Amino acid sequence: MFNPSIQPFMKSRKLFLILVFIVITNLFAKADEGMWLPMLISKYNTDAMQKMGLKLTSEQIYSINQACIKDAIVALDHGGCTGSIISQKGLLITNHHCGYEAIAEQSSVGSDFLTDGFWAMRPEEELPIPGKTVSFLIRMEDVTAKVLANVTAEMDEGERDLAIQKESDKIIEETESESGLEVSVESMFEGNEFYIFVYETFTDVRMVGAPPSSIGKFGGDTDNWMWPRHTGDFCLLRVYSGIDGKPAAFSKDNLPYQPKYFLPVSVAGVKQGDFSMILGYPGATDRYLTSYGIEEKLTQSNPADIKAKWAKMEVMKKYMDADDATRISYAGDYAYLGNFWKKSLQESKALQRLKVFNDKRKIEDGFQAWADQDENRKTLYGGVIGDFKTVYQSAAESRANEAISYTSELLMGARILYIAFQTGELTSRFDSSDFKEMVDISKKRAAKFYKTFNPELEKELLEKMLELLAKNVAPQYIPDCYTTINKKFKGDIGKYVDAMFEHSVFASEAKLMEYLDHPKKKTLEKDPAVVAANSFIGSYMIGRLSQMTDEDKFLKARRLYLAGLREMNPETVFYPDANSTMRLTYGSVKPYKPADALFADYHTTLQGVMEKEDPTNPEFIVSPKLKELFEKKDFGPYSKNGIMDVCFLTTQDITGGNSGSPVINGNGELIGLAFDGNSEAMSSDIKYDVNLQRTICVDIRYVLFVVDKYAGAGYLVDELNVVD
């Protein structure tokens, strides 16, 4: 019999749940959001894309049966950046900042390609880039059923992981034996789905062209993550193959790679509202992070990251400004630090400004209410949010995340500790059969390492980082080497560092080579740099062990949370977080309002470069030749109505790893390169904001103008299939 006393409660409860579903749906379903697996676009995205202006079929974008756009998209260095093939001769285009390290390594004070640019006017002038790799995706396939075949609900996370790893290894082994290609099995949706990816990787990659930093890095750190932008962020590489068209080690006999497909290049330009899509290899997003994770980022991870990176940058900048050789040697490291320092800084601001914590908490409240409405759901999902709360509270109390941030920044950032850590592996190999081989590897590594090693800079950097760690890390994570500092050096970190550089075999190439000619185990074990490196590794491991106390609970909560959200919203199409696998994202060319009373147009022009010029600031120097071309309006066929466009904005959903990704119009033609996001939406790895998030792209017409009119390398333009 119906009880009238509970009717008002039931009505309000029903209304509450309806509102929860509306909120959740709105939070997950937004136009232009999503990093989609290309093999699934025919199922989920093609109709929407065609309504927005796509003129292609899904088969023309992704296919395993015919040449298509995906065959022109490459992962650089297994996912560090993205590039695309734009000619039948293996010409590859990516961002200047993606080639920055290679450009720096090829540079010297006498041949400063960072400052002056580089252009190979003949094939024999192209420069090999040791270690650079280019990977083509052959195919992907859903293997969830195979991977989870032996997983049961009764398994704990450790048992589950072992079962998954066993099946994944079997799939990889079977596929590699069939194809001879590189194969990986990747988790999606926090272990709820699994896909196999098959790649062909080329290792003979050569530098063809790069503009000077005054074009390719115009605006430097000041403009990084900012709009308006005026950066010609591109460089040109070439992929070479053996005479059989297959991957081969560098050889003068190798030939330019003939791709299955290359992108045509459009000089028609872009206008507001135009459809565009991006294919690339986004590195990592965390779109399903909880409110507890947001709080941890704002109070622990990001502040530690910002402090540590800024401390290193300050020391580097001092020495780089004083010496050109040091500037070139440390350019790549400094650019990397500056990029991610500013990202963490702007991410924290955006998370607070956009109230992302509140949005996440609404989702969690809705999830909990949904789980509690059904006994089966309550059993499976009812404790998930509580588990998140427990894990993050424990982490906050232990302060392990801070310790891990500082110790890893120190180990990776203080070069003497890094080389000591690498070479220190020899201590366990003195009696092994491959010891001589390991010594030879160490010698080769050292020969390259010390080419970019400034002892005075390294001393000051290590001292600064040791001071920073001592002030910011909880006592239980302070490394053992501080006992030596306090007892032997009476707390004087400077004297400790001086002594390390005086007595360590890693203080110079000469010392290390002399040691490696006559290696002794005891010498290596007692070396002050090795002792310090081991000390920091110990501190790092204590932090990791503290994290791992609740790791199984955390991983299970993540997996169940994603499974529950998808079950709760059956009409919503979810996309997996980025994980350096190929993704497609689509949207349109569009301006935005960064704040009240401000309007940001969708494109910039060369006029803006001239307006930003500041001869006293290295970030805003404009070369005389570029000014001359501007003043004469000598833009060739690449301008429109006498205006040379430089950059434009789209609504695409991208992240790190998408750098260098091709921006493609509805006809499948290259119109630009993605190279940055905007600071107002720097919470984008966690939440896509439809009103604010924009992808900053360099216009392909500006690229062609620089190659042809500025560099005089028009023969490269002749290689392309240029369409209007």
Where in the sequence numbering do the catalytic residues fall?
A: 97, 233, 659
Residues 15, 627 contacting (CB under 8 angstroms): no
- Cβ count within 10 A of residue 110: 5
Residues 410, 497 contacting (CB under 8 angstroms): no
CA distance 214 to 300: 36
Nearest to 160 by CA among 562, 559, 566: 559
Residues 660, 280 contacting (CB under 8 angstroms): yes
Nearest to 238 by CA among 132, 328, 339, 147: 132
Looking at residue 110, its amino acid is G
CA distance 550 to 538: 20
- Cβ count within 10 A of residue 81: 23
CA distance 157 to 163: 10
**E-strand stretches of 12-145:** 73-76, 81-85, 91-94, 118-119, 127-128, 134-142
Tokens of 313: 């940058």
Residues 577, 30 contacting (CB under 8 angstroms): no
With b for 16 or more beta-carbon neighbours within 10 A and e for fewer, the 124-161 pattern comes to eebebbeebbbbbbbbbbebeebbbeebeeeeeeeebe
Q: What are the angstrom distances between the C-alpha of 320 and each of 313, 324, 446?
A: 10, 7, 22
The residues, ordered by sequence, that sit 6+ positions from 6 with a Cβ below 8 Å of its Cβ are none
Nearest to 360 by CA among 284, 298, 404, 282: 298
243 CB-contact burial (10 Å; exposed 0-12 / middle 13-18 / buried 19+): exposed
Looking at residue 477, its amino acid is Y
Nearest to 699 by CA among 662, 655, 668, 667: 662
User: 204 - beta bridge partners?
Assistant: 240
Residues 191, 559 contacting (CB under 8 angstroms): yes
CA distance 558 to 292: 12
The residues, ordered by sequence, that sit 6+ positions from 411 with a Cβ below 8 Å of its Cβ are 417, 418, 421, 533, 536, 537, 540
Residue 83 has φ and ψ, to the nearest 5°, of -140, 175
